[in-house]
Amino acid sequence: MKRIFIGSSSEELVTAKIVKAILKQDFEVIIWDEALWNKSIFKLNRNFLSNLLTATLKFDYGILIGSPDDKVDYRGKEMLQARDNVLFELGLFTGRLGLDKCAFLVDDTVKIPSDLGGVKLAMFNKNNLADKVEEVRQMFQNSSEIDMNFFPSSTLAYAYYENFIKYVCEHFITNKGFDFKNILYHDCRFKIMIPKTLPNDLNMAFQKIQNKIGVEKISFGATGRVRNVHVDVKIENGQLVLLDFPTTLTGIDHAISNLLPNDYKNQTDDYRLILDRELNKFIITLKKTIEKNEYDDFVTIERI
């Protein structure tokens, strides 16, 4: 289930709970306000900003609630604006998740900062709150599955497709199959194996799997590549099955270890959650790229 972060001042916690009640059937919703240190998001013994940054990596969507908490003087007039920390969190989550996955749910008495162009603003009052939350729900449900973030998941998937998968698929189409031991196999499928988690030595882990299932290798030239393409294969019920174990996934682990070294070192729940999310994003991006190029009848992706 997709996860939503709701941030608000403590004065607007009642509104946050109403929003959660409306959305909880379709999403996992967690509320944080300045007076609550929810143990599922923050750890008291860690730097606040580091904790907030970690939180942005654990959620699919963000809703920040702007309430009339602070009085400000604007061009000689006294106005009400949302608390600074709520605006900061809005910027942080928008930068992390993208414009179509963040919403600013704002009390209609609040002064709106002039530089929020593009951010979804849902101006609410006590009579239309449910309708405005429904607008946000629709926006989230219609948002793209693919997003870019601090980790290279989507980029790795695109590069893996362009530098390897595309050449295998093009060779299959052009040559109407693959030659293996002097036999041209027309009945072929290409299976990409993605691990459930990332061991310390991914190459060795994949080598153990290859040894266990028993694979051989084929090589072929590809247009635009200086070196041959090498693929593991095996015969299953007369069908040639091509197998690949993308070691490029180690890039995700390296990114986590650099950005969140304590979580990586201690293999915390946060680390496992973020890792699983990034592996899923790699798979989603890869699947959509394969489908876009109409190779999904030949290529399958499996978690192992």
CATH of the domain at 47: 3.40.50.10140
- DSSP annotation of 113 reads P
Q: What pLDDT is stored for residue 74 in this prediction?
A: 42
Is position 147 within any domain?
no
Q: Max CA-CA distance within the chain?
A: 85
91-131 tens-digit pLDDT? 888 888 888 899 988 888 877 765 565 677 889 888 999 99
Q: Are 181 and 125 members of one domain?
A: no
Residue 148 lies in a domain: no
Q: Which residues pair with 191 in a beta bridge?
A: 243, 300
Q: Is the pLDDT of residue 40 over 70?
A: no
Distances (CA, A) of 144 to 4, 29, 63, 138: 15, 19, 17, 12
User: Is the domain of 115 the same as that of 163?
Assistant: no
Tell me, yes or no, whether 192 lies in a domain.
yes
Please check whether residues 138 and 158 belong to one and the same domain: no
The long-range contacts involving 264-273, CB below 8 angstroms and separated by at least 24 positions, are 270/54, 270/58, 272/197, 273/58
125-134 contacts: CB < 8 A, separation 24 or more?
129/15, 129/18, 129/19, 130/22, 132/105, 133/18, 133/19, 133/22, 133/23, 133/105, 134/22
Which domain, by its residues, includes 250?
Answer: 153-303
pLDDT digits 0-9 by tens, 56-71:
888 899 999 887 754 4
Domain boundary pick from 113, 142, 171: 142
Kindly tell me if the per-residue pLDDT of 52 is higher than 60: yes
Q: What's the rounded Cα separation, in Å, for the pair 4 and 26?
A: 10
How many domains does the structure of the chain reveal? 2
- 111 domain residue, yes or no: yes
Which whole-number Å values give the CA distances from 118 to 8, 19, 91, in the listed order? 20, 22, 12
Inside any domain, residue 270: yes
Question: 137 with 158, same domain?
Answer: no
* Of 150 and 163, the one with more pLDDT: 163
pLDDT reported for residue 78: 40
- Using the structure block, give the residue that is written with the tokens 């109407």: 176
- 191 with 67, same domain: the answer is no
What CA–CA distance (Å, rounded) separates 241 from 231? 10
The whole-number pLDDT of residue 42 equals: 47
pLDDT of residue 117: 58
* pLDDT for residue 151: 67
The pLDDT confidence band at residue 179, using thresholds 50, 70 and 90, is: very high
Mean pLDDT for 23-49 is 67
Which domain-ending residue is among 123, 142, 161? 142
Mean of per-residue pLDDT scores for the chain: 85
Question: Same structural domain for residues 135 and 217?
Answer: no
Check residue 93 and give its pLDDT: 87
Contact 100, 56 (CB under 8 A): no
Q: Which of 120-134, 182-196, 260-274 has the highest mean pLDDT?
A: 182-196
pLDDT of 77 above 50: no
Are 123 and 171 in the same domain?
no
Q: Which of 226, 188, 192, 189 has the alpha carbon at shortest distance from 209? A: 192
Task: Give yes or no for residue 76 having a pLDDT over 50.
Answer: no
185 lies in some domain: yes
| Rounded CA separation 286/149 (Å) | 16
Q: Identify any residues that bridge with 183 across adjacent strands, giving them in sequence order.
A: 180
Let me know whether 39 and 103 are in one domain.
yes
pLDDT of residue 73: 41
Please tell me whether residues 47 and 185 are part of one structural domain: no
pLDDT at 141 over 70: yes
| pLDDT at residue number 295 | 97
State the amino acid at position 173 in one-letter form. I
80 pLDDT band, cuts 50/70/90, is: very low
Secondary structure E strands in the chain: 3-8, 28-33, 61-66, 70-74, 77-81, 102-107, 120-124, 178-180, 183-185, 188-194, 216-220, 229-236, 239-244, 299-303
pLDDT value of position 49:
67
